Amino acid sequence: MKVLGIESSCDETAAAVVADGHILLGNVVASSMDLQAQYGGVVPEIAARSHIEAINGVVDRALTEAGCGWDDIDAIAVTYGAGLGGSLLIGVLAARTLAIVHDKPLYAINHVEAHVYANFLTRTTLPGYILPDTQPVFPMLALIVSGGHSQLVLFRGHFDYTLLGQTHDDAIGEAFDKVAKILGLPYPGGPSVERRAKEGNPYAYDLPKAKLTHISPALAALRGQTSPAHGYDFSFSGLKTAVLRLAQAITGHDHSFPSKNLPEALSEAQKSDLAATFNRIATETVVDKTVLAYDEFRPASVVIAGGVAASPELRQQLKDRLPAPIAYTDPKLCTDNGAMVAALGCFHVKNGSQPINPYRMPIKPNLSM
């Protein structure tokens, strides 16, 4: 069974073909990141226009790479939320059109859920990927860390999960992107902070970790009577502001000093130390909660997903602190791609999920898990 997956929720136009939920046959990602980098972040109009230009070619290349004609494709899966409205529209319109023209069942995919399913890919015919040997098993704890989301989710099975906690403000990837701006490092912030952090001292400064005690009704219901006092929510906006205040203070300025002038005021060594300290603390924030959730729920497997899951610091901290080893997917499959969408699409087909009417398919920019 082969599924074509289409992804366009942010600035990547992506398509992939996955067989049986675990074999990656074709995977093409075109990004408007270079255009976006000139503006220091994603400009929705530029992203949408780039999707229009790229989408047909990307789908064709994914099919060619997979050695598939339309007769070989059993279903189409497409991200319909969460994401930027204009960006989602292009992928969804393309998928609807292809489903109608080629008479294929169409599945609506939740982008955040799809990130988790990148971890279900265990084989590929493509060069240059390092994949886990086996698929994760349930119950599965998923740490989802991207530019738009920071969540801990406990999966009992496919499509059967509880959201243990999530961010109250910025996502962790967003915090990386904003701190990169403060330090004058290029977009996207995750990789550039990571690179810079290698040159700095991760213990150079003190930065605060948010301590949230909120417990969601879903978590309370899952726990029943025996409730530990802690929850699994995150907050990153305070940490980002702490970096800003620290950068102002160490350059001899007060809080009114404009952040756009900080890259010039900071020395190269200060930038490296700030990057390294932020990288350590932001990562510890999510690792602390993952370890607590592991201790409470004793899952059979743990996966990490989303763009920040590409981070070597995150992978190292989890290796050092979790009692069980994690099988990581290739970093290329952590950032947005069509393979994760196609993989989840395969499980919709296997599960007997209802395909969506291609004539009436909506987009849902604010979709949550």
Residues at the site binding ligand KG4, with contacts judged by CB under 6 A = 10, 146-148, 173, 176-177, 188-191, 194, 306-308, 310-311, 335-336
Residue 229 CB, nearest distance to ligand KG4 (Å)?
30
Nearest to 283 by CA among 316, 238, 243: 316
* 189-197 vs 172-183: helix crossing angle, rounded to 10: 60
Residue 24 CB, nearest distance to Zn ion (Å)?
17
Task: Give the Cα-Cα-Cα angle 159, 160, 161 (nearest 5 degrees).
Answer: 110
Question: Segment near Zn ion (CB under 5 A), from 205-213, 246-254, 287-295, 335-343?
Answer: 335-343
Strands of the sheet containing 150-157, edge to edge, are: 160-166, 150-157, 140-145, 301-305
Q: What does 283 interact with, of ligand KG4, Zn ion, none (CB < 5 to 8 A by kind)?
A: none
Find the binder of Zn ion among 336, 338, 345, 349 (CB under 5 A). Answer: 336
Residue carrying structure tokens 């756009």: 260
Residue 7 makes contact with Zn ion by CB under 5 A: no
Find the binder of Zn ion among 146, 151, 192, 301 (CB under 5 A). Answer: 146
Total residues contacting Zn ion by CB under 5 A comes to 2
Q: What does 177 interact with, of ligand KG4, Zn ion, none (CB < 5 to 8 A by kind)?
A: ligand KG4
Residue 147 CB, nearest distance to ligand KG4 (Å)?
3
**Nearer to Zn ion (CB atom), residue 174 or residue 336:** 336
Q: What does 7 interact with, of ligand KG4, Zn ion, none (CB < 5 to 8 A by kind)?
A: none
Q: What does 152 interact with, of ligand KG4, Zn ion, none (CB < 5 to 8 A by kind)?
A: none
**Nearer to ligand KG4 (CB atom), residue 62 or residue 304:** 304
Residue carrying structure tokens 């499980």: 347
Residue 295 CB, nearest distance to Zn ion (Å)?
28
What tokens were used for 31?
């990004």
**Nearer to ligand KG4 (CB atom), residue 173 or residue 358:** 173
Question: Segment near Zn ion (CB under 5 A), from 128-136, 139-147, 277-285, 319-327?
Answer: 139-147
Separation CA 226–CA 240 (nearest Å): 35
**Nearer to ligand KG4 (CB atom), residue 285 or residue 311:** 311
Is residue 123 exposed (0-12), middle (13-18) or buried (19+ Cβ within 10 Å)? Answer: middle
**Nearer to ligand KG4 (CB atom), residue 199 or residue 295:** 199
Question: Segment near Zn ion (CB under 5 A), from 124-132, 162-170, 198-206, 329-337?
Answer: 329-337
Q: What does 65 interact with, of Zn ion, ligand KG4, none (CB < 5 to 8 A by kind)?
A: none
**Nearer to ligand KG4 (CB atom), residue 111 or residue 348:** 111
Question: Segment near Zn ion (CB under 5 A), from 200-208, 216-224, 290-298, 333-341?
Answer: 333-341
Residue 262 CB, nearest distance to ligand KG4 (Å)?
19
Q: What does 176 interact with, of ligand KG4, Zn ion, none (CB < 5 to 8 A by kind)?
A: ligand KG4
Q: What does 231 interact with, of Zn ion, ligand KG4, none (CB < 5 to 8 A by kind)?
A: none
Which residues of this chain interact with Zn ion, rule CB under 5 A? 146, 336
